[in-house]
Structure 1
């Protein structure tokens, strides 16, 4: 395994990033995630924008937004965990020790029923809570941090904790602080995005726009040989002879990113064998494509 090649491509063309890039917005309380994505789209002056991980209108925090073709990469963020900081209010006082005990019980796999107004079918499902930390407690108010599997309903989690404590409870405030590898410190407000674009045009300053590959840093990478890139762009499956380098360990059927030597994303797919097995093969199919990012004819052979 090696880190010989760069993790992100060098993209200095602001106009390109406006139509193909990514920005991590600090969503304010009030508007829907869809509305925030639409405002970001209008600020950069492009025609299409998508977002990853819908936040309720009153919830704030990390909202990844992708413009143009980059929106195809948002799907792969759904594989990542998320982190939130929130406030819940219990309906009666309980001891700190009782809360800590219940928090420990809610760490690991839990059952959840999506809320009535959820966008998914209401059926009980399992979600993993990786960490549930009590930060502060004052009277009936609890400040907590939770790291969880994508698709976990924090409002439901607060309600369930209140039920198990026997006093009832509900979520008061919530802020998302991380989506996968994308952190709160990576995010900007819509005003900051607008200002940066203005100053970049007038004075040549930097903007918070990033290349699409910023969304895919959590995926194990297979570096392609130059002569295999365009073949994959046309939708052909990746065969072992087209591999230049395998960078990180992965298992059979894991999602992998196929990219060029200069870190440009070509496609994402499922590995047909583990990284260890592929490194010892001379022929055969290495990955089955799911999503092609690069247009044919883009990369020189």
Structure 2
């Protein structure tokens, strides 16, 4: 994808500054891709290709049934007739889907114009709508019909044929493309409506080799149960850390992990390196050196203040993901789990 068609977080590269250095102990925790299978599934997400017909909730429920889980959750509702990327979080990882709300989404839309309009005119109007817009959700929607502001990050006209226009749109979560088509039709003075829609991206969940159908997932679990081969299943499940790639992060010492897992605040002394641009009261992801998500947190200090101080609490956890006991407790040994 060219620079012109990047979601906002992609145009700001991650830059880290080091506060301290310390090796990680390989006997505690796991690199996300090397977790034992049961734990890997509980900390996983499926990049699902939603078919037309069922609701997003029904699709997530089918995933739950196929994998034999107690719960699943999805990262952004798609209308029943809309297809495409539907990230489904598995088991305890359902708590991570809120991270996707701030990343932005991309759609491919087929719009039907009520009259034939020159291609250049359509492109010019799309450019006008590449901005912050006021939207009121349509009558058939899952949210209250209150006026709200949403941002269109980019648009790209792909093809025009007769009265059909195919375009790509990158937008803020919660944008109604059906309403966008209606507004474009009003601006063109001809009227328009959405004919078909496919979500092509949610944050780092894309139409790549991890994208799978319900049938793919069913085949993978069948192969595992009958042949004890988990390689295909692991290929279709991504670690939950994929959902926070766009978040600002603080990486911590092994000795600080279990305290966070018990709900304690993150002490400045526990920080090894962190994002260069963290501000006070900003949401952050607290990570181990192995790349495991420990918790979502609220930063109580900016990056510069964390680097200057040696004492005090710099972040408080708001949602904990790390299981207790995987890393050393402050007064007892951690459990060592082998893959």
The TM-score bracket by the shorter chain reads over 0.9
Question: Could you say what secondary structure the match of 2:99 adopts?
Answer: helix
Name the CA distance, whole Å, in 1 between partners of 2:70 and 2:116. 51
Question: Could you say what secondary structure the match of 2:264 adopts?
Answer: coil
Instruction: Trace 1:1-301 onto structure 2 (pairs within 5 A).
Output: 1=16, 9-185=32-208, 186-201=210-225, 202=227, 204=229, 205-207=231-233, 208-247=236-275, 249-301=277-329
Alignment length, in residue pairs?
A: 301
- Cα RMSD over matched residues? 2.1
TM-score normalized by structure 1? 0.93
Name the CA distance, whole Å, in 2 between partners of 1:94 and 1:164. 12
Name the CA distance, whole Å, in 2 between partners of 1:221 and 1:94. 47
Name the CA distance, whole Å, in 1 between partners of 2:140 and 2:283. 31
Q: Which runs of 5+ in 1 are unaligned?
A: none
1:237-272: per-residue Cα shift (whole Å, max 9, x none)? 212111122145333332211122222211111222
Contact 2:89–2:97 (8 Å) recurs in 1: yes
Question: Could you say what secondary structure the match of 1:10 adopts?
Answer: helix
Name the CA distance, whole Å, in 1 between partners of 2:131 and 2:311. 41
Contact 1:11–1:211 (8 Å) recurs in 2: no
Q: Which runs of 5+ in 2 are unaligned?
A: 1-15, 25-29, 330-339
Contact 2:32–2:40 (8 Å) recurs in 1: no
1:224-248: per-residue Cα shift (whole Å, max 9, x none)? 1122112111212212111122145
Name the CA distance, whole Å, in 2 between partners of 1:206 and 1:300. 33
1:185-224: per-residue Cα shift (whole Å, max 9, x none)? 1310011111122223415233212222222222122111
1:50-109: per-residue Cα shift (whole Å, max 9, x none)? 111000001001101111110000111111110000100011111112111111110011
> What is the deviation of 1:142?
0.3
